[in-house]
Amino acid sequence: MISIKKISKEFREGIRGKRVKALEDLDLEITKGEVFGFLGPNGAGKSTAIKILLNLIYPDKGNASIMDKDVADKEVRRYVGYLPENPYFYDYLTAEELLWFGGKTSGLNKQKLHERSEFLLNKVNLYHAKKRPLRTYSKGMVQRAGLALALVHDPEVVILDEPMSGLDPIGRKMVGDLILELKSQGKTVFFSSHILTDIERFCDRVGIIIDGRLRLVDNLTHILSDGGNLEDVFLREVKTAGGGIET
Amino acid sequence: MRTLWPIAFITFKEGVRNRAIYGISIFALLLLGANLLISNMFMQEVGKVAVDMALSTVSFAGLLLVLFVGINLMAKDLDKRTIYMVLSRPISRPQYIVGKFFGMVVLLLVTLLFLSTFAIISIQLVKMSAPTYFARFSWSLVFLSLFFATIGLVLLTAQSFLFSSFTSTSFITLVLTVVSYIIGQSLSDVKTLIENSQIVGIKISPVTVKVIQVAYYVFPNLSLFDIKTQAAHGLSLSVSYIFWIVLYGFIYTCLAIAFAALVFRKKEFP
Amino acid sequence: MQRLSLIVLILALASAQVFVLGRATEEKNLLPLYQGDDAVMPSPVLKVAVFEFDGLASDFMFLKALVFMGSTLERADLPTLVRTPFKREKKSISIIEEWEWKWLYGILDASTGLDPYFLDPYYVANANLTWGGGLIRETNLLLEKGSRYRNWDWQLPFYVGFNNFFFLHDNIKASEYLMEASRRPGGNPGFASLASKLAYEEHKTEISILLLEEITKTTDDEALKKMYLIRLGALKSILTVEKSVAAYKKRFGKTPRTVEELLQRHVLKELPIDPYGGKYYIDPQGTVRTTSEARLMPGTH
């Protein structure tokens, strides 16, 4: 479903163009119907990998494809729903108009668009605020509106960048329920987080990324089978990665 | 077209609900109101002054709109990453640029139409209070001047889109657009001057002459669209002039947008 | 693929743009210039309108004046090629019209109103408005203003003096300003003696030559210099004829009635050539004149 092959990416920073490695030889395969958790400390390269999948940035080396189509093909995004990290939308647009835009550009017809829009606005609990401009929304409300936008065209693949950040416990539960629901519908979900409990609760498989390198990819059940928990595994990986750099 | 329309639409909505546009409109309306008072202070060419004031106000308000609303609409997409919500859809970068541009053009047209209506009303009011000074007055030239001003502003918008496609901050775009506007307004005068420099009696190096001649074709020639003087004095304007100027505006606009699209294809949004 | 088509599109548009702009420019050049009363905003109004940018606005107005001169003087000196939609045709030479000179004066006045210390507009006004436009009194007003502000500059009072003497025949005022010029730093002390000579109605042509030579010396613009030299040549020719008339008077005790008499009696070997293409003659008062005098001394007729 999602396939990332040998992707490397460098950024130039500052005026002098100092090179900073964001991703190095990233290899990842995610199969249909899987909920994949992308785990890593801040600045590890999670968002970079996701943005490459959305064609927002281009890899220096390697290639990425979704449903066997290269991500450079814009048609790919007809089947992909994306929630950016700390999403920000047009200030003066209402949630209803936001979903209208998402549906229209994804080719939904009028009736289907209306249906999906009403359904999702209810789902993310924004129905009462659907005619208010987004600038009057709280951070959590914007996050929920973004989630509705990501799902409005009923995508096969859902990519969520830190979907839980900025949400209160009720909101987190709502997002969690949504992910489980998507899973039950056979959708593929790829989401990143640095919150271990979220990953533990919803994921089938986990990838741990540190300093742009994928350290571990495994089934969650397998990781937890020898009695440990995700936190221990994660901290161990961070430690070995850090130790590797020091020596 | 199916993908361009939603982008244009949300761009227009976002722009039209922006507070800045109300500020600019109110400012323009005040100036048009002042037109009634100021025109009456002149003794002879009341008609000329009234038309001058009305047309200049519309042009100036349009300029402010392009500089502060237009550039902001584009820049905010890049600064605040609202562009993610567009590019994560099945929309290519060139489509984004064109759609966004259409939205801005619609916004510009609606605002200018609104202001032009008031400009025409203000001219009409002055005309009614002092009909004798409107001997050489022609409405069609006033309309044509407003139309030309609109083309010039659309062109400037296209130019600002081109700048924002390769600059990193909106401030640089703003500065470049202002510079481009100033150059565009004075370029043809400067070209006339340097090409007749011997007659006027100034010495100009051949390099400067070449630079100016090249610049003449690179920068938008905005002074071509300025027929306020003709409108104010009711001078005639040939059909072929209108034809070539409109064609020029159209081609330059397309050129700037095509260029912006080309540059934008390579742009990353980390 | 998409990239290639974009590049092709850009190239096509760019070449179309060059062509269309060429045509549009031609059309613009055919636009009639505004013909009406003095349309320049007076400088006090401008001063309010330009906020703190007086100097810049002054420069800009001056530049506008230059552009205007560029287009109008070109028209006056050369037959212009006018392009009609179908064919090129030569249009006859038209001279600069009075309103155009007035407009030029207006804009230079505005420029110096914004920045009265700015020398260039005075210089341009003196070089063009007097000889070409015949706006002597207006130019003098401008120069007097400049002379008041630029009180270290001997050139401006010198110009005022010259104009008063040469065009307006106001010798009292002329000598006043020449004295002023001689007192300022860099001014030629010889002006003072010239000024005193002006009190008498004699040696008019010699004084003109001396003053004009001084003007020529201070001009570094080639075109202007050439113009002054031609005028100097004309004045010197007149001086030659005048001298022979004086010699004739001395020898024969009467004033010659025609210049041909000078040649017949061998007082003058040959008649000098008038660089303006006129013919010399002697008027009933016995003064030497030329048929091209209008060109030589505008404002005196």
Burial C288-301 (b: 16+ CB within 10 A, else e): bbbebbebbbbbee
Q: What is the ipTM of this complex?
A: 0.88
**Looking at beta carbons, which residues of chain C come within 8 Å of B261?**
6
Cα(B157)–Cα(A81) distance, integer angstroms = 32
Q: What would the mean pLDDT of C211-215 be, rounded to a whole number?
A: 81
Q: Which chains touch C (3 or more CB pairs under 8 A)?
A: B
A165 — pLDDT class (breaks 50, 70, 90): confident
Residue window 70-99, chain C: list those with CB within 8 Å of chain B. 70-71, 73-74, 77, 85
Beta bridge partners of A83: A160
Closest Cβ–Cβ partner in B18, B90, B268 for A105: B90
Taking the C-alpha atoms of residue B199 and residue A171, their distance in angstroms, rounded to an integer, is: 77
- On average, the pLDDT of chain A sits at 87
Residue A51's closest CA among A100, A14, A7, A107? A7
**Residue predicted with more confidence, B134 or B13:** B13
Q: Do B248 and C28 touch (CB under 8 A)?
A: no
> Which residues of chain B neighbour A74 with C-beta distances below 8 Å?
90-92, 95
Residue C232 has pLDDT above 70, yes or no: yes
Structure tokens at A55: 């064609």
∠ CA C293-C298-C301, nearest 5°, is 75
pLDDT of res. B102 = 95
CB nearest C10 (choices: B229, B245, B255): B255
Which of B2, B4, B69, B88 to probe by mutation at the A interface, max A CB count within 10 Å? B88
User: C283-296: per-residue pLDDT in tens?
Assistant: 887 778 777 764 44
Residues C137-152 have a mean pLDDT of 89
Q: Is A86 helix (H, G, I), strand (E, B) or coil?
A: coil
Rounded Cα distance, C76 and C104, in Å: 15
**Amino acid letter, residue C86:** F
* Strongest mean pLDDT among A40-44, B150-154, C125-129: B150-154
This prediction has a pTM of 0.74
Tens of pLDDT, residues A110-156: 999 999 999 999 998 899 999 999 999 998 899 999 999 999 999 99
Mean pLDDT of C100-112: 86
Q: What is the pLDDT of residue C297?
A: 47
Residue B84 pLDDT greater than 80, yes or no: yes
Partners of B92 on chain C (C-beta within 8 Å) are 2
Q: How confident is the model at residue C85 (pLDDT cuts 50, 70, 90)?
A: very low
- Cβ neighbors of A209 (< 8 A, separation 6 or more) are A26, A38, A39, A40, A44, A45, A46, A49, A215
Nearest by CB: A84 against B2, B81, B89: B81
The strand pairing partners of A149, in sequence order, are none
DSSP A78: G
Q: What is the pLDDT of residue C90?
A: 40
pLDDT of residue B41: 65
| B189, B217, B251 ranked by CB distance to C67: nearest | B189
| Chains contacting B (3+ CB pairs below 8 angstroms) | A, C
Tell me what pLDDT residue A131 has: 92
CA contacts within 13 A on the Cβ side of C26 = 17
Q: Chain C: nearest CA to B17, how far in angstroms?
A: 32
Q: What pLDDT, on a 0 to 100 scale, did the predictor assign at position B97? A: 93
CB-CB neighbors (< 8 A) of A106 in chain B: 89-90
Spell out the residues 6+ positions from residue B51 whose beta carbon is closer than 8 angstroms to its own.
B123, B137, B142, B228, B231, B232
